[in-house]
Structure 1
Amino acid sequence: MLKVSRLSYSYGRKLALDDISFEVQPGRCTMLLGPNGAGKSTLFSLITHLYDSPQGQIEIAGYNLLQQPCQALAKLGVVFQQPTLDLDLSVLQNLRYHAALHGLPRAEADKRIQEMLERLNVSDRRLDKVRTLNGGHRRRVEIARALLHRPALLLLDEPSVGLDVPSRRAMVDHIHALAGDSHMGVLWATHLIDEVSDRDSLIVLHQGKIRAHGSVAGVLQATGSASLDASFRALTEAAA
């Protein structure tokens, strides 16, 4: 669902991403681990077309992002680290507005909205203003919004920031189940190792370079570590 090839990006003389390549497969979560300053935000800005890079290539669901930006971005759903819902609109109004931006007819939009809210257990709050929701419920609404147009690729930029433990655990479990059920590819940036499942693909990004890429078991074996936390520390400390 996502193919990144030989991608680099610089802020002036500072190299933020250095010749990175990877793929995100359908039906799986690919977890992007990295400390602050690793290049995760830069990578997401490039995938969402906020930045362009003269070096490298990005394909979303087979569409080249630079050559076919409308087709590529139509296949993309995003949950940002910072909340982006309109607090003074209701849950339903926020979702209808997003559906309209994607050209969904009202009847189809309302059907999908109801399905997503029921699946995320927030259908009883559909008429409430977003500002009355707690952090966990707001995140569920943002996930519903990102999935309304049925994207091929879902980007999650540290979506659990600010959530309490039960809300975070519920969100992690739901996204993993959703990826498998819908055959959607997920690229999930996080710094919380306990959000990674043994079934996930894993990318460790540090100082703009990919230090490891593969299955969780493969990364553990390659680093000779007994835990993912130890493996992550070995990869990032060795690079430092």
Structure 2
Amino acid sequence: MTALAVEALGFAYGARRALDELTFELAPGRFGALLGPNGAGKSTLIALLTRLYDLQQGDIRIFGHSLRHAPRLALRQLGVVFQQSTLDLDLSVQQNLAYHAALHGMPRREAQARIEEELLRQDLGERRHDKVRTLNGGHRRRVEIARALLHQPRLLLLDEASAGLDPASRLALGRHVRNLCREQGLCVLWTTHLLDEVEPSDDLLILHHGQRVAWGKAGQLGDDLAISFARLTGDEALGRGHVREALRANLDPQARRSGFSREHPTEEPQA
């Protein structure tokens, strides 16, 4: 069964189209990276996936349940970690999790069992009684992941989850989430604008001006993701001094013949 199916999704803010006929699928247990420059449509997609915005065109299916026709069943499969933290800093780790479980209507005994399981899985057992404000950024993100997984969703959305973390914490968080995919069969959609957060084995979707410009295994795009990304989006801010020449001389021709799908490629920048 497909974990996430986005079907001909379209959305507009008045006359401006934020998403245009977007279609892609993710399988259970896969880590999917959603990459794009500012204004690509990433935030709009997350808002539609979480029903912060109503669907205008197309549909979203989460483990077979239509977000348009069966939203409760679809959202029951979904856990979310937003870019901005929503933890209560003056409550302990355990109190934050217990409060979230109560909002989901979980019986106390079941909630406590799930909290214990997630504290163990996120390696937070020794921090359960610590106030959240005493935790570093990486541990706060782990608390948010634990909270998002309390109701046992099968699809986890992380929207710019590494924002504000130092490089070591970002690396550790990415490794941790990929382990959840491998060991727990969790499907993850991870939105980012940072190229170093994408690994070759990830499923990679690149958005530009609301359109899918590439979709497939990240490793099939070539050895230098920055160059390929710049070529597909025209975003020279990634390389400034070297991207323009690299686009001409160093883009791996083998990548063009790979199985990676590139829709609507942009022209190479002119000198």
TM-score range, shorter chain: over 0.9
Q: TM-score, normalised by structure 1?
A: 0.94
**1:188-207 equivalent positions in 2, closer than 5 A:** 188-207=190-209
Q: Return the alpha-carbon distance in structure 1 between the equivalents of residues 183 and 13 of structure 2.
A: 39
Per the alignment, residue 254 of structure 2 pairs with: none
1:27 to 26, 29, 32: 29
1:79 to 78, 81, 88: 81
Per the alignment, residue 223 of structure 1 pairs with: none
CA contact (8 A) 2:160 2:190 kept: yes
Per the alignment, residue 40 of structure 1 pairs with: 42
Per the alignment, residue 143 of structure 1 pairs with: 145
- Read off the aligned partner of 1:45 and give its amino acid letter: A
Shift of 1:104: 2.3
- Read off the aligned partner of 1:96 and give its amino acid letter: A
- Read off the aligned partner of 1:174 and give its amino acid letter: H
RMSD: 1.3
Per the alignment, residue 235 of structure 1 pairs with: 232
Shift of 1:191: 1.1
Residue aligned with 1:67, SS: coil
Q: Return the alpha-carbon distance in structure 2 between the equivalents of residues 26 and 197 of structure 1.
A: 18
Q: TM-score, normalised by structure 2?
A: 0.83
Q: Return the alpha-carbon distance in structure 1 between the equivalents of residues 20 and 117 of structure 2.
A: 41
- Read off the aligned partner of 2:55 and give its amino acid letter: S
Residues 175-233 of structure 1, C-alpha deviations (whole Å, 9 max, x = no match): 0010111112111101111111221100000110000001113333xxxxx31111111
Which residues of structure 1 form unaligned runs of 5+?
221-225
Per the alignment, residue 57 of structure 1 pairs with: 59
CA contact (8 A) 2:199 2:219 kept: no
- Read off the aligned partner of 1:239 and give its amino acid letter: T
Shift of 1:108: 2.2
Distance 1:7-1:107 versus aligned 2 partners, 3 A rule: same
Residues 17-62 of structure 1, C-alpha deviations (whole Å, 9 max, x = no match): 0110001111110100001111000000000011112210111111
CA contact (8 A) 1:213 1:219 kept: no
Shift of 1:102: 2.4
Residue aligned with 1:213, SS: strand
Residue aligned with 2:161, SS: coil
Q: Return the alpha-carbon distance in structure 1 between the equivalents of residues 112 and 93 of structure 2.
A: 12
Aligned residues: 235
2:4 to 2, 5, 10: 2
Which of 1 and 2 has greater Rg?
2
- Between stretches 89-98 and 43-52, larger displacement belongs to 89-98
